[in-house]
Amino acid sequence: MFDYSDINRDIVQALRRDQAFQFKHRGKYLQEGRCPECGRRSVWISVDKPILVRCNHRNSCGYEEPVRVIYPELFENLSQRYPATPEDPNATARAYMDHVRHFPAIKVGDWFEQAARPLPGGGYAPVVRFHLWDGCYWDRVINKADEHALGDKAFFKKGFRYAGKAWQPPGQRIEKGDTVFIVEGIFHAIALSLCGYKVLAAFSSNNLPTEVIERCKDREITWRLGYDDDPAGRSMMAKYYDQLQHQGERVEVALTGSGKDWDDLYRLDKLNDDFIEECLYRGRLFTARTIGEKAYHWYCKHRRSYTVLEFGNRLYSVHVGEELSKDLCEAIEDLNQADIEDSEKEKLAVKTIDEALATERGRELFARNLTTNSISNCLPKFLYCEIDKESKEVSYFFDIALPKGREVQVAFSGAHLESPKSFNKALLNQAPGSTFDGTENQLKMLRDRWFDGGVKQVETIGFLGYDKQCQVYVYQDFAYHNGRKLKRNRQGYFTAGKHRIKTSFKSFHLHHNDEFNPDWIGDYYQVFSRLGMVALAFWLGSLFAEQIRAELKVFPFLELTGEHGAGKSTVIEFLWKLCGRDDYEGFDPSKATFAARTRAFSQLSNLPVVLIESDRQTDKAKKGAFDFEELKTAYNGRAIRSTGAFNRGNDTVEPPFRGTIVIAQNDTVDGSPALLSRIVHCHATKAHFSEKTKRLAQRFERATVEEVSGFLPAALRREKAIIAKILEVYPELDTEYAHRGEIHDQRVVKTHAMVSAMVAALPLLFPAISPEQVKDLQHYVYTRAVNRQGRLSADHPEVQKFWDIYDYLNVRLVDDPEAPAIYGPGGKVEAQTLNHSKDPALIAINLIHYKQQCEQAKVDHPDINALKKLLPNSRRHKFLRQGNVKSAIEEGRTRHCWIFENSDAKRGDL
């Protein structure tokens, strides 16, 4: 027997650290934890045997969850914690069976052995192996990581056929008159066997062990069909029930009714005679041929006169007349007075009303006193309650089953469930042809049935990507948690530990491919050069932006510029394909409304928001116009926009920014030093282009999202390794960049060091990238940091050109007969031709006048509309305001000017 004190210690430490529970340690228990279902401080678990977290309120809540579901990472690699040795070759398998499955090794230790299966990439995966017959076996993979590598968790020996056969616990003997369960899996069978029941494992719901049943034909065996309680299992149990009855066999159906398998129930310590009787009762309801027969079984258990029952995908009201008890009492007297020859068995057995009800006469009397009416032509099955994490709105999700077997999933509001009229209207609107004609009392009975056993709550997010609270990447049809892919259940949500979550976002869909081939990286590097590689590294880092911001508090912006045809659009579209989005580059914020931009910045988490070429004609003064300065708060993951909440109060909505920013346009962004220091700028050129790169580029243009979208799952599977690499390398690069002495702005150092750290993580996905290439790319990022430092000290190139032209044109020699010769030959004097200000400390320029003077002098001037965006950030002469100025050039006229502080006057150059 293993000593599990180390893994138990890890479990207890995880529970004590878990802020969702907030346990208090009291003696041998962790107590007063917050229940994730009912919210009360009523959850507890044993410290010595930390197996199951439970809520004290069993009737009103009933929350129970195994620790192996809450913290699967503690059980994912048992082969490292309990490795097999020559002295103990079954060590890992026994640890798995004993601690994960909780099957005592002292009872099942010789039923299995440890074996290994070869992994596709080399090495072996440890498995628990059960030997069957004819040299065949069944393997169960132990480590979770190996399940993904092998593509499944269980395997039979190749070529094995089990039709008509079954596995049974070694040493089990089926005697005359026995009751034998037939279940699907070996672990299900072990669980029932350990609780004292005889059992067969059929391996699949599609298999009935006819060979065993035939051998036991004359032993009066009662066969209990206990396949999985899911649609497939129920369908096959109904078929086998009819088949065995037709063959003259005694047969019952046992339905767990809880969504859990027999081994799950074993670990919850629920497999006892009372629970089995509940399973058989559910089985009798399931196999009833008529609504009357179903009502009979219900009445035998509950002994109430009125209820609502489902049958044949309809709802029926069931009423049992008050005369039934009187009729049964009379039946008892009649049966006991009958001749033994007529009814010997019934005479000897019937003493109570319950016994009388079980007789044929009792069934006839029940049918005579029974009244049933259809109140709905469909069957609403309550699934879960959906709560929007931001708005807190609640929706109730139902499967509506129609009489012919079709199902549709619908969402109802609380108002829809308030009255029969509103419920009927909601059905008509959302489930075509469905109606509800029941009374207020009947609807209340249904609501109590749906909700009194505890409401399963599912959180919804209104975006795609990473949810920081649950630590889950959520997309429409797949999700990842701690590097593991989560399967969406048939109800449309994902389960990660104690969290149930889904996304309500529908504007676009991300495709994914579980297979990732990184062989294209060499051609990609050749075609798109350093800019493409830095963009790829930034894209990779963006997939973990929330986690990185949690540690480093910020996440940089990336700016990609380049002349027309340099390939930046191809790069961005290909990077989107890597993440499953086809035929997309980005959106133009200057052409979007305020509301559209607000939503665009909130649609994605841990994915880039790409801002493509903005319209240079846009006037910042225009209401709702976009300004890059708005993005500064996104650097820290704070809200970019604030809107009023949709209520009558004073509340505002400020959603945090969860993604990253990529700016892609032909011209560089200009702005304040605070904005520019947040940006890593890369410029695309055609210097490396050739006929070969042109052909290779076409490959990336034609690449389909189905071919390359394995990048996203591959990165998410390596979540911890990639984040660890970035956080490990960043401090070294930050210190190195700062100590070189060429960069003085600490934010520029941090921003570029972070991108360099992302470059260092690329080889984790692309092993072909050499250390020398990583160093080269990091040097390139450093040169961009130096360039950015220089940019912070100087004006935008267009603004520099503006002031150079101003200096060239502003001062002219004009005729002045009274001027002394010192001012120039022929009585000329210097005069300003562009500066309308009479105050020597100011410069006032009318841009239309500026343009006219340039054209007269035949000087190529900057675009005036572009200047309107750039001049407010002028550094050479600080911009003050726009306004009307009495012109010093045109006496008596007033001009609308852009007014700057004359830095030359401050230096004493005048």
In the block, residue with structure tokens 């088949």: 243
- Residue 906 confidence (pLDDT): 60
Predicted confidence (pLDDT) per residue in 434-453, tens digit: 999 999 999 999 999 999 87
Question: What mean pLDDT is predicted for residues 27-50?
Answer: 87
**How many residues belong to the chain?**
910
Higher-scoring residue by pLDDT: 544, 685:
544
Residue 324 · residue 353 · CB < 8 Å: no
- Residue 644 confidence (pLDDT): 62
Kindly indicate the confidence band of residue 391, based on its pLDDT and cuts at 50, 70 and 90: confident
How big is the CA angle at 678 (ends 673 and 682), to the nearest 5 degrees? 105
Instruction: Specify the range with the lowest mean pLDDT, choosing from 544-548, 817-821, 886-890.
Output: 817-821
Kindly indicate the confidence band of residue 337, based on its pLDDT and cuts at 50, 70 and 90: low
In the block, residue with structure tokens 């559910």: 282
Q: What is the mean pLDDT of the chain?
A: 88
Nearest to 268 by CA among 52, 454, 108, 104: 52
For residue 472, what are its two tokens? 């889950």
Residue 68 · residue 267 · CB < 8 Å: no
CA-CA distance, 608 to 473, in Å (whole number)? 15
- Residue 907 confidence (pLDDT): 52
- Residue 338 confidence (pLDDT): 56
Bridge partners, residue 436, by sequence: 376
Please determine, for residue 401, whether its predicted confidence score (pLDDT) is greater than 50. yes
Instruction: Specify the range with the lowest mean pLDDT, choosing from 3-12, 45-54, 297-306, 778-787.
Output: 3-12
Question: What mean pLDDT is predicted for residues 809-836?
Answer: 66
Highest mean pLDDT among 49-63, 326-340, 353-367: 353-367
Question: What mean pLDDT is predicted for residues 482-502?
Answer: 87
Within 8 A by CB and 6+ apart from 115, the residues are 126, 127, 128, 129, 137, 139
Question: What mean pLDDT is predicted for residues 840-850?
Answer: 93
How big is the CA angle at 47 (ends 42 and 49), to the nearest 5 degrees? 105
CA-CA distance, 390 to 149, in Å (whole number)? 37
For residue 446, what are its two tokens? 């249904």
Query: 3-state DSSP call for residue 385?
Result: strand
CA-CA distance, 693 to 523, in Å (whole number)? 8
- Residue 339 confidence (pLDDT): 46
For residue 289, what are its two tokens? 């041929």
Residue 894 · residue 887 · CB < 8 Å: yes
For residue 385, what are its two tokens? 């309650």
- Residue 464 confidence (pLDDT): 95
- Residue 298 confidence (pLDDT): 95
User: Cα–chain-centroid distance for residue 128?
Assistant: 32
What is each CA distance from 488 to 37, 253, 471, 494, 713, in whole angstroms? 21, 29, 16, 5, 15
- Residue 358 confidence (pLDDT): 84
- Residue 5 confidence (pLDDT): 58
For residue 335, what are its two tokens? 């049966």
- Residue 310 confidence (pLDDT): 94
Query: 825: buried, middle or exposed (CB in 10 Å: 19+, 13-18, 0-12)?
Result: exposed
Nearest to 544 by CA among 443, 473, 456: 473
CA-CA distance, 852 to 793, in Å (whole number)? 30
Residue 618 · residue 590 · CB < 8 Å: yes
Instruction: Please name the helix (run of DSSP H) or strand (run of DSSP E) that holds residue 806, with its range, or none.
Output: helix 797-810
The dihedral built from the CA positions of residue 715, 716, 718 and 719, taken in this order, carries a sign that is positive
Q: Indicate the pTM of the whole model.
A: 0.75
Kindly indicate the confidence band of residue 343, based on its pLDDT and cuts at 50, 70 and 90: very low
CA-CA distance, 305 to 324, in Å (whole number)? 10
- Residue 516 confidence (pLDDT): 92
CA-CA distance, 711 to 867, in Å (whole number)? 42
How big is the CA angle at 418 (ends 417 and 421), to the nearest 5 degrees? 85
Question: What mean pLDDT is predicted for residues 654-668?
Answer: 89
Kindly indicate the confidence band of residue 431, based on its pLDDT and cuts at 50, 70 and 90: very high
Higher-scoring residue by pLDDT: 154, 8:
154
- Residue 78 confidence (pLDDT): 83
For residue 15, what are its two tokens? 């529970």
Highest mean pLDDT among 36-45, 152-161, 196-205: 196-205
The DSSP bridge pattern shows strands 64-66 and 124-131 to be unpaired
Question: What mean pLDDT is predicted for residues 558-565?
Answer: 84
797: DSSP letter = H
- Residue 226 confidence (pLDDT): 96
CA-CA distance, 315 to 310, in Å (whole number)? 4
CA-CA distance, 350 to 818, in Å (whole number)? 140
Question: What mean pLDDT is predicted for residues 110-127?
Answer: 91
CA atoms within 13 A of residue 287's CA, in its CB half-sphere: 23
